[in-house]
Amino acid sequence: MRILIAEDDEDLNEIIVKKLSAEGYAIDTCFDGEEAIEHIENVKYDVAILDIMMPKLDGIETVKQLRNKNNMTPIIFLTAKDSISDKVKGLDIGANDYLTKPFSFDELMARIRVLTRTVSGNATNIYSLDDLTLNTETHIVMRNNKEITLTALEYTLLEYLLRNKNKILSRQKIEDNVWSYDYEGGTNVVDVYIAYLRKKIDDNQNVKLIHTVRGIGYCLKVDK
Amino acid sequence: MKKLSIKLKITIWFTTTMILLSIVVFAFFMLISRNTSSSQVKNTLVNIVDENTREVSYDDGEIDIDDDFEMLKNGVNCVVFDSSGTKVSGYLEYDEFGLEKLEDGVLKTVIVNNERYFIYDKLVYDDDDPPIWVRGIVNENNNIFLSSVMYLSILICFPLLIILASILGYFIAWHSLKPIKEISKMAEEIEKSGDLSKRIELKNNKDELNNLAVTFNNMFKQLETNFESERNFTSDASHELRTPVAIILAQCEYAFENATNTDELYEAIGAIQKQGYRMSKLIESLLQFTRIEQNIENTTMQTINLSSTITSICEEYELIDIKGITLEKYIQNDILFNADLSLITRLCQNLIQNAYRYGNENGKVIVTLKEENNSILFSVNDNGIGISEDEISNIFKRFYRVDKSRSDGKGMGLGLAMVKQIAEMYDGTVKVQSELGHFSTFTVIFEKGLNES
């Protein structure tokens, strides 16, 4: 899952990136509204977290411009402005959620999950296919009632595949969503991680879930 | 009386005054009318008697009383006596009236049964016959018509007058107190709703109450601005404090849940410490700022030698040697100014400190102090990052920082706000000239004459 952070306070920006990365999100970061627009227009983010009081272009204006261009990227305002009128203004302008500083990461991540749930049309935090389940809240992955331990990146990759189950996803698309800009891995990073996942998910199972679509990419589905 | 409303008090006072006044007027009127009525009664008596004398004559040696003789007219009772004093005609209510001595053309007063009567006699001569007496008797209070009207008017008018007076009094009180009622109503509304933007509606007349309303409105305006700035200050301050708190909490959360080794823990603690310093610095600045705001009355006015004060501040900065900046000073000697020393020091320090903070490495800061045309000019120039045109209007706002991404915990965005506040305390002005990326010059101008008067 790929998330953009736009926050002008360097220290705050840094810790948010650190924490969310540790939770397995792919994070891009910027420090003002203009940069934020540039990022959001070029990459498909699952969620963008914006501060309101930013230099060059404030959060309100940023969201206004994005929505005017019909960009529907889910946006959470993370701001020190806590009056009711600020919240109403922020939400009315087109933000999907509003969180005030100081905040708790637990709450921030719960709200991120809400937005991704809404987009994927899932009613709960549990995504499943056949006997494979993934809980985005606890990060527990089960297959055949047995818990599977995944690394942060493996988890993020599986979550992305599960949220787009039965869809064919190109390597580029997977890379864009799971790895942030500053990742400096090899070009076949997607293939490498898919191989890791296969080993943990599909090995010793009768029903294989991860399928390679030749020349295009991968698809998570139950083969009939 | 203390428990009554002013409206009721005014009504009562007005009514009482009206009643007392009318009693005095009535008494006066009665006194006059009494005098005029007794003289009027006397006149009537004389007239009627005189008229009747024409109706009395002798006919064949007998006293003949014409039909036109009026025995009783307008309360005057007429009696005819012959020359010997024997009653010929007429009715005597009391014997005393007949016993009174007959005197021609004389008007006498007789008291019978505690009532005063007037008696008037007239002799009628008819050729050689013996004269005939005509006597008229009338009660002093005969003027029945006049007095009855008087009593009637008193009986009817008095209650009417009281009612009228109280209605009128109430109306006057109500009308003149109406603006007060409106003022108190508005004040009550403001108290209940806490909405200080409400104002009392003003009428066009320029009476005392209108002045009162204007004073109230001005007071509300003043209160509103004070509260507004207070509220802005609190919201600004809380906003500024939120970010470091958010970072501290986020770092803690990260350290508890995600830190895998001691290096990461140390990093988190370092970040928390940095934010702690930032908050402590901010709180200090906030305190200083509010102290200046609150202690304006507590400042001590004294004659300061601005030249030496600024020289010593400059020397301190030269000693510290920040960012390799060289300080040039052009300070005219012995410029005196009446102000509080600590406030003026703070003003100069803030400006010089800003010049250092936003100046270029190895750059130059120029401090100038001079007196020109009775005004004192203090200016600080740096060749640093400068300020863009659209930012100039914002730089004196509290918590505004030109370079926002600098969260180095140093500038709190309060320095220039303080400079402006202190300058304005002494009727001074602060001017800014700047070009983005090249230079900034801040000039504080004090009018000498203004300050000393």
Maximum Cα interatomic distance, chain B, rounded to a whole number of Å:
165
Overall average pLDDT of the B412-429 stretch? 84
Mean pLDDT of B342-371: 88
DSSP secondary-structure letter at B200? P
Residue A185 pLDDT greater than 50, yes or no: yes
Give the predicted TM-score (pTM) of the model: 0.58
Residue B365 — φ and ψ, nearest 5°? -120, 130
Of B242, B257, B271, the CB nearest to A15: B271
The bridge status of strand B364-372 relative to strand B326-331 is parallel
Q: Is residue B11 a contact partner of residue B169, using CB atoms and an 8 Å limit? A: yes
User: Which tokens hold the place of A173?
Assistant: 């698309």
What pLDDT was estimated at residue B407? 42
Per-residue pLDDT, B381? 92
| ipTM for the complex shown | 0.73
Question: Residue A164: pLDDT above 80?
Answer: yes
B441: left (phi over 0), alpha (psi -120 to 50) or beta: beta
Q: Phi first, then psi: what are they for B137, rounded to 5°?
A: -125, 135
CA B208, chain centre distance (Å): 6
Burial pattern B259-275, b for ≥16 Cβ within 10 A else e, equals beeeeeeebbeebbebb
Band the pLDDT of B410: cuts 50, 70, 90.
low
**Confidence bin at B453 (pLDDT 50/70/90):** very low
Instruction: Identify the CA nearest to B56 among candidates B67, B65, B47, B48.
Output: B65
Which residues in chain B are contacts of A85 at CB distance < 8 A? none
Helix axes A152-163, A171-178, angle to 10 degrees: 120
CB nearest to A81's CB, from B239, B246, B407: B239
Which region, left, alpha or beta, applies to residue B103 given φ > 0 means left and ψ of -120 to 50 means alpha?
A: beta
Nearest chain A residue to B272 by CA: give it. Answer: A11
Test mutation, A18, A52, A81, chain B, max B CBs within 10 A: A18
Query: pLDDT tens digits for B192-241?
Result: 887 777 777 777 777 777 888 888 888 888 888 778 777 777 777 887 88
- Tokens 């001691």 map to which residue? B262
Is B126 in contact with B58 (CB distance < 8 Å)? yes
Q: Smallest Cβ distance to A103: which of B246, B271, B274?
A: B246
Q: A146: exposed, middle or buried (C-beta count within 10 Å: 0-12, 13-18, 19+)?
A: exposed
Q: What is the pLDDT of residues B269-325, one digit of tens each?
A: 999 999 998 888 888 888 877 777 776 656 778 888 999 999 999 988 888 877 888
The amino acid at B283: I
List phi, psi (to 5°) of B361.
-60, 140
Angle at B303 between CA B299 and CA B308, to 5 degrees: 110
The tokens for A12 are 């705050």
> Is the model's pLDDT at A71 over the cut of 80?
yes
- Average pLDDT of the residues of chain A: 88
Distances (CA, A) of A213 to A90, A161, A210, A219, B34: 43, 14, 10, 7, 134
* Beta-bridge partner residues of A79: A100
Q: Who has greater pLDDT, A171 or B40?
A: A171
Angle at which helix B415-425 crosses helix B341-358, to 10 degrees, equals 150
Instruction: Find chain B residues with C-beta within 8 A of A102's C-beta.
Output: 242, 245-246, 248-250
* Cβ(A161)–Cβ(A210) below 8 Å: yes
What is the rounded CA–CA span in Å between residue A21 and residue B258?
10
> Interhelix angle for B262-294 vs B415-425, to 10°?
10
Name the residue among B253, B257, B405 with its Cβ closest to that of A10. B405
Most distant CA pair in chain A: distance in Å?
Answer: 57
Is B52:B45 a contact under the CB 8 Å cutoff? no
Instruction: Place B409 in a pLDDT band, splitting at 50, 70 and 90.
Output: very low
pLDDT at B367: 93
pLDDT at residue A66 above 80?
A: yes
Mean pLDDT for all residues in chain B: 82
Q: Mean pLDDT, to the nearest integer, of A63-82? A: 92
Check if A80 contacts B (Cβ < 8 Å): yes
Question: A110 touching B, CB under 8 A?
Answer: no
Q: What is the mean pLDDT of residues A104-114?
A: 91
Interstrand relation of A141-143 and A132-135 (parallel, antiparallel or unpaired): antiparallel
User: Nearest CA of chain B to the CA of A8: how many Å?
Assistant: 6
Question: Please, which contacts does A35-42 make with residues 24 or more away whose CB atoms are closer than 8 Å?
Answer: A35/A6, A36/A4, A36/A6, A36/A62, A37/A62, A37/A65, A37/A66, A39/A4, A39/A6, A40/A4, A40/A66, A40/A71, A40/A73, A41/A66, A41/A69, A41/A71
Closest-CA residue of chain B to A52: B239
Residue B61 has pLDDT above 70, yes or no: yes
**For an interface test with B, which of A5, A8, A12 has the most B Cβ atoms less than 10 Å from its Cβ?**
A12
Please tell me which residue, B281 or A16, carries the higher pLDDT value. A16
Nearest-angstrom CA–CA distance, A111 and A101: 14
Q: Which of these, B326, B334, B288, lies nearest to B309 by C-alpha position? A: B334
Which of A201-215, B89-103, B423-437 bottoms out in mean pLDDT, i.e. has the lowest? B89-103
Rounded Cα–Cα distance for residues B276 and B272 (Å)? 6
pLDDT value, residue A67: 93
Question: B342 by DSSP, 3-state: which?
Answer: helix
